[in-house]
Amino acid sequence: MTEPAITPELIEAHGLKPDEYERILEIIGRTPSFTELGIFSAMWNEHCSYKSSKIHLRKLPTEGPQVICGPGENAGIVDIGDGQCVVFKMESHNHPSYIEPYQGAATGVGGILRDVFTMGARPIAAMNALSFGEPSHPKTRQLVNGVVEGIGGYGNCFGVPTVGGEVRFHPAYNGNCLVNAFAAGLADTDAIFYSAASGIGMPVVYLGAKTGRDGVGGATMASAEFDDTIEEKRPTVQVGDPFTEKRLMEATLELMQTGAVISIQDMGAAGLTCSAVEMGDKGGLGIKLNLDAVPQREENMTAYEMMLSESQERMLMVLNPEKEAEARAVFEKWDLDFAIVGETIAEDRFLVMHGNETKADLPLANLSGSAPEYDRPWVETPPAAEMDPVPEIDAIDGLKSLIASPNYAHKSWVWEQYDTMVMADTVVAPGAGSGVVRVHGTEKALAFTSDVTPRYVKANPYEGGKQAVAEAYRNLSAKGALPLATTDNLNFGNPEKPEIMGQFVGALKGIGEACAALNTPIVSGNVSLYNETDGQGILPTPTIGAVGLLDNLDQLIDGTARAGHVALMIGPEGAHLGQSALLAEAFSREDGDAPHVDLAAEKAHGDFIRGNAQFIDACTDLADGGLALAAFEMAEAAGVGVQIDAAGNGPLFGEDQARYLIACSFDKAEALMVAAGQAGVPIHTVGKFGGDTVTLGGSSAPLSDLSETYRSTFAANFA
Amino acid sequence: MKAAVITFPGSNCDRDLAVAFEQAGFDVARVWHKDTALPSGVDVVGIPGGFSFGDYLRCGAIAANSPICRSVVAHAEAGGFVLGICNGFQVLCETGLLPGVLMRNAGLKFVCRNVGLTVASAESAFTSGYAQGDALVVPVAHHDGNYNVDAEGLAALEAEGRVAFRYTDNPNGSMGDIAGVLSENRRVLGMMPHPERAVDAQHGGTDGAAMFKGLAEALVSA
């Protein structure tokens, strides 16, 4: 089949800038073929090459004694002792989910699960952080339903418990929803698999589902803004098959035990192209592919289509040839394709053959090594303007404005569509700040949370970046878990705009400082740029996924408040109302600065909580909605009333950081007071639990009425 | 006492079910769906939850025609015990060992939460660890758990006391709040809730443990 001629229009349609095309000509010294142009566009788009973000990502702290493998592989790996490790990553599927919510979200889950089991880890927990437009926007209800069903449809069938996540709504996401999927797996430290190929003349094997035309150009689509041609982009969204993924996982993990795997890489964005180049590049080898051997689902596929297809549930591996028969038998057992499609070669070449023709012959190392890298111009986000005064509001009215908003209402409508308990090790299910999963067959457990407050990041990227990490740290500490490490999913608008790039740079500086101070290095991550529609960008949303360890489940803080319990607050009295939830929900205002984060206080308070877990029955961090929302949530979960003595907007709804709310008996409260005094940690009695009303300062309401609002709001908006 | 747990390619509660059997003192054999015979000496066959063949065609329909299911049916017809949970219940209905079908939930959505159950019949080896009327809390997690059976079938189930469990707050629209049913000889039980997810105080409570323990005791005294 003859390939189209290379024209400026074709180059532009591949998302390549004129200077980037010039660089291609320099590298290969001739005009590329159509297939070669596709390969370059797949490797050099923003999604795959991180060309706008790389120079800033290098500044993040990624090392620590607990880190076995930092960024650069399919997922990060952290030691959890006893010869075991946790393998995790978070990744976005924003663009496809807006175009086709069910499949977009489903394949987002599929992709992140594959990243984890490719390294030899069995997935044991999933989370997802979702951002949608305002609830009244005509697209929002369909997106919420489709995305939630897609996540459930894939994760439930695959058989991984979904144990946490976030759901937020803001008009800035009207044209671009965010779907950030997290997965964590468990592996033995001495049985981890990497992607670097080794050995010359080793067979390159294609595993899993067949290749179709779906998702051709998906990574390039995800590297551009949306406009009114969005409907035309539907064919670039892949279709997921969780049943095949489940079999692929079982077969891959079984295969790894045979000793057949030299290196392995999942086929994600830009499928066969990215995975082959990555394995060759990391191993310093060339790769020769014979596309005639690729299992195909459709007829007459061209080399270009096969190289750019993003068909799901596929892997590429370099095989130890002595083990071929055993490896093949495993895949036959699971009824999956196993095909030798190429070999490793000594020369630095990426050779693609199809029908006895050479469709591509490129210097392999240059495909990723010479990808463009930009130091895009950026301007610092200006300091927030002085805030207008906030009128005092009746405290119960203030609370109602929060719990009647889908942002802060109870989210069981979402998580009941996810299997939160499969594998029978879920100790803390969604809805409690962080989810906790037991390490199967042990008394150890892992805690998971995902956090960011985009309003803060917009107002003050640096403090907002710090806050995302600090909140994750608190959510883990509030369960008694020691925060180990983090993964970042950086969702921003168009990086070619200096003010957007300024948000990115500022947020990353804050994230880096916080991760260093709190000893939670970033071990994996993903960048999603160009989240814009018709020039309108999203709120900067650097989602932080974090993992904590409980050496023994007896350290877990998982009780509930009870009548007679004292309410104690760790940290200073609240005062900061800038960018607060109260301001947004009760007054429709988003002004003021983000709260500033004192990282030393965060560390000290987190250490205090974990060190005194035996005195704490229930604990939650204070975040959006301050003391009032935290106290209500703790009381509501326990079905008991609460009386908070503080009055006024600041003390009740202020969102000052480094704070926790604790419920415990009087005797334990005394012990905590003594311990806090010794540790120099601020602690105050702020009220007590009991009765059946919620009292905030001088205002009260029956718990049952508030509970009804809190639990019905979400379904009322989206069911 | 020996239990066999069947694994279809999309089963995902097979390990959980094996753990629950083991905890009650069973030796557990894991059996692959392409096997044609059960291991010898098996007292009870467990068909676990999950998505046996991706729920393509109809939940449980392809699994019901897999090689091992012929042996499972033969085992039941010879008076052996069979426990089908969630997708396993769907498989048992598809094989005809139990009457009725599991349709899409009335709310059309997947539902995963703890539900209240009452023990409607303690007259089986599976429910012998309970008393009739006991209130239990056990998780459900399914998309297709809406139990339906024709009028005669329902009348027979009720008349013969073959409803094993009922929901106290029906999560899926099942007829008569039916959560689990027994075969005529009371040796085959299918149920949508997951008792194997309720055998551990740290996970899902312990209200399901009495099922496995009761079954073990009934088998020993039988």
Q: Supply the pLDDT for residue A30.
A: 96
Q: Mean pLDDT in chain A?
A: 95
Confirm or reject contact between B51 and chain A (CB < 8 A).
yes
Q: What Cα–Cα distance (Å) separates residue A168 from each residue in A106, A630, B84? A: 19, 17, 39
**pTM tops 0.90:** yes
CB pairs under 8 A between A and B: 91
Question: Pick from B188, B189, B167: which is nearest to B111 by CA?
Answer: B167
Assigned token pair, A702 = 């029956």
Q: Supply the pLDDT for residue B222.
A: 67
Per DSSP, the residues of A551-568 read SSGGG-------TTPEEE
8 Å CB contact of A241 and B54: yes
Confirm or reject contact between A295 and chain B (CB < 8 A).
no
Cα A614 to the chain's mean position, in Å? Answer: 32
Tokens 């500033």 locate to A596
Phi, psi of A449, rounded to the nearest 5 degrees = -150, 155
Q: Supply the pLDDT for residue A220.
A: 66
Helix (H, G, I), strand (E, B) or coil at A124: strand
A110: chain B residues, CB-CB within 8 Å:
none
**Nearest CA distance, B88 vs chain A (angstrom):** 14
Is A93 marked active-site? yes
8 Å CB contact of B12 and A425: no
8 Å CB contact of B13 and A158: no
Q: Which domains does chain A have, with CATH numbers?
A: 559-719 (3.90.650.10)
State the pLDDT confidence band at A372, using cuts at 50, 70 and 90: confident
* Dist. CA A434–CA A681, nearest whole Å: 23
Q: What is the CA radius of gyration of chain B?
A: 15
- Res A150 pLDDT > 90: yes
**Nearest CA distance, A552 vs chain B (angstrom):** 12
Confirm or reject contact between A313 and chain B (CB < 8 A).
no
8 Å CB contact of A422 and B113: no
Phi, psi of A226, rounded to the nearest 5 degrees = -90, 150
Q: To the nearest whole percent, how much of chain A has pLDDT over 70?
A: 97
Question: Pick from B17, B197, B184: which is nearest to B114 by CA?
Answer: B197
Assigned token pair, B183 = 């075969």
Cβ–Cβ under 8 Å, residues A478 and A621: yes
Which residue among A14, A47, A95, A410 is the active-site one? A47
Per DSSP, the residues of A616-659 read -SEEEE--TTHHHHHHHHHHHHHT--EEE---SHHHHH---SS-
Q: Supply the pLDDT for residue A235.
A: 66
Mutate to test the interface with B, among A151, A422, A711 (most CBs of B within 10 A): A422
pLDDT tens digits for range A124-148: 999 999 999 999 999 999 999 999 9
Q: Supply the pLDDT for residue B217.
A: 96
Confirm or reject contact between A419 and chain B (CB < 8 A).
yes
Plot region of A647 (φ>0 → left; ψ -120 to 50 → alpha; else → beta) = beta
* Dist. CA A551–CA A482, nearest whole Å: 9
Confirm or reject contact between B12 and chain A (CB < 8 A).
yes
State the pLDDT confidence band at A218, using cuts at 50, 70 and 90: low
Q: Supply the pLDDT for residue A223.
A: 63
Q: Supply the pLDDT for residue A269.
A: 79
**Nearest CA distance, A36 vs chain B (angstrom):** 37
pLDDT tens digits for range A152-204: 999 999 999 999 999 999 999 999 999 999 999 999 999 999 999 999 999 99
Q: Supply the pLDDT for residue A268.
A: 82
Question: Which among A152, A417, A421 has CB closest to B139?
Answer: A421
pLDDT tens digits for range A321-330: 999 999 999 9
* Dist. CA A262–CA A20, nearest whole Å: 34
Q: What Cα–Cα distance (Å) separates residue B17 from each residue in A213, A606, B46, B187? A: 40, 38, 7, 18
- Res A658 pLDDT > 90: yes
Cβ–Cβ under 8 Å, residues A397 and A701: no
- Res A207 pLDDT > 70: yes
Which residues lie across from A447 on neighbouring strands?
A: A436, A548
pLDDT tens digits for range A558-601: 999 999 999 999 999 999 999 999 999 999 999 999 999 999 99
8 Å CB contact of A418 and B112: yes
**Nearest CA distance, A440 vs chain B (angstrom):** 11
- Res A705 pLDDT > 90: yes
Question: Which among A153, A244, A416 has CB closest to B112?
Answer: A416
- Res A234 pLDDT > 80: no
Q: What is the mean pLDDT of residues A702-716?
A: 98
Which residue among A93, A170, A410, A565 is the active-site one? A93
pLDDT tens digits for range A418-453: 999 999 999 999 988 899 999 999 999 999 999 999
A423: chain B residues, CB-CB within 8 Å:
12, 15-16
Question: β-strands B188-191, B178-182: how paired?
Answer: antiparallel
Mutate to test the interface with B, among A102, A145, A157 (most CBs of B within 10 A): A157
B 190-209 near A (Cβ less than 8 A): 194, 196-197, 200, 202-204
**Catalytic residue ranges of B:** 86, 194, 196
**Nearest CA distance, A158 vs chain B (angstrom):** 7
Q: What Cα–Cα distance (Å) separates residue A275 from each residue in A149, A310, A358, A666, B118? A: 29, 11, 19, 59, 53
Question: Which among B19, B51, B112 has CB closest to A421?
Answer: B112
Question: Pick from A72, A101, A66, A106: which is nearest to A89 by CA?
Answer: A72
Question: Pick from A53, A190, A6, A35: which is nearest to A504 by CA?
Answer: A53
pLDDT tens digits for range A235-254: 677 889 999 999 999 999 99
Cβ–Cβ under 8 Å, residues A92 and A526: yes
A151 to chain B: closest CA residue: B110
Q: What is the mean pLDDT of residues A398-412?
A: 98
B49: chain A residues, CB-CB within 8 Å:
422
Is A47 marked active-site? yes
Q: Please, what are the averages of pLDDT over each run of 10 residues along chain B (222 residues)?
A: 97 98 98 96 98 93 95 97 98 98 97 98 98 98 98 98 98 98 98 97 93 96 74
- The answer to whether ipTM exceeds 0.85 is yes
8 Å CB contact of A425 and B113: no
Cβ–Cβ under 8 Å, residues A41 and A220: yes
B105 to chain A: closest CA residue: A417
Confirm or reject contact between A242 and chain B (CB < 8 A).
yes
8 Å CB contact of A156 and B202: no
Number of neighbouring beta carbons within 10 Å of residue B24: 20
8 Å CB contact of B55 and A157: yes
